[in-house]
Amino acid sequence: MKILTVPVTPFQQNCRILVCTSSNKAAIVDPGGDAQKIVATLNELELVPEAIWLTHGHLDHVGAADELAMAYNLDIIGPHIDEKFWFDALPQQAQMFGFAPRPAFWPTNWLSHGDTLTLGELSFEVRHCPGHTPGHVIFVEQTQKQVLVGDVIFKGSIGRTDFPKGDAPTLIASIKSQVLSLSDDFVILSGHGENTTVGHERATNPFISGRFG
């Protein structure tokens, strides 16, 4: 598997392009904006994506999803249906975050805990991880030990819980049950900032240790 990172929006959200190197099939995860940058990366590598996967409904993670879906005739897959209210509120999100005005849109398919997404020869387990938002999901690839976590956990930190329907105890419980249940050598690909590992966060993240929560 090849993973390409395209930072997008003023929030420098890590849009990921996943590529199955055996089949050259690609998927776009969390295209939060700057569609032209994502398209340029795809064109440079001669990739044609076959789906868009979303971890949650915050605008900096979904802002270019509908534009790319129309351009490539793609399904928008995920997150969990508990996230629907964030998609309903996309016009208000744009105003709140200082983005250009935009209409609401909705995924083609919602995801549930335990679902499986495939990309060529790759298989990704869907895990529901509420707390940052109620319908947040993560994508776990067991063979190459990669987990795309959106805004659940970051290097040395965790997702915010002060947005509507966020909940800190729920987020900590999600991290412990769905992320820390993975082996220490899993690479964590967060929605913002550097990659890290499960082992590093287990040992050093102050929010997980209880120091800050």
Closest by CA position to 186, among listed 155, 156, 141: 141
| CATH number, position 17 | 3.60.15.10
122: its two tokens: 């790759």
- State the DSSP string of 24-73: TEEEEE---S-HHHHHHHHHHTT--EEEEE-S---HHHHTTHHHHHHHHT
Q: How many CA atoms lie within 13 A of 202 on its CB side?
A: 16
Q: In what order do the strands lie in the sheet with 187-190?
A: 116-119, 122-128, 137-141, 146-150, 187-190, 196-197
Residue 213 is predicted with a pLDDT of 47
Question: Whole-angstrom Cα distance, residue 129 to residue 116?
Answer: 15
Other CB atoms within a 10 A radius of the CB of residue 94 amount to 17
Question: Whole-angstrom Cα distance, residue 189 to residue 97?
Answer: 23
Question: Whole-angstrom Cα distance, residue 137 to residue 149?
Answer: 7
Q: What is the domain count for the chain?
A: 1
Question: Whole-angstrom Cα distance, residue 33 to residue 36?
Answer: 9
Q: What is the pLDDT along the chain (213 residues), one digit of tens a residue?
A: 999 999 999 999 999 999 999 999 999 999 999 999 999 999 999 999 999 999 999 999 999 999 999 999 999 999 999 999 999 999 999 998 888 888 999 999 999 999 999 999 999 999 999 999 999 999 999 999 999 999 999 999 999 999 999 999 999 999 999 999 999 999 999 999 999 999 999 999 999 976 554
Look up the domain containing 96 and give its range. 2-209
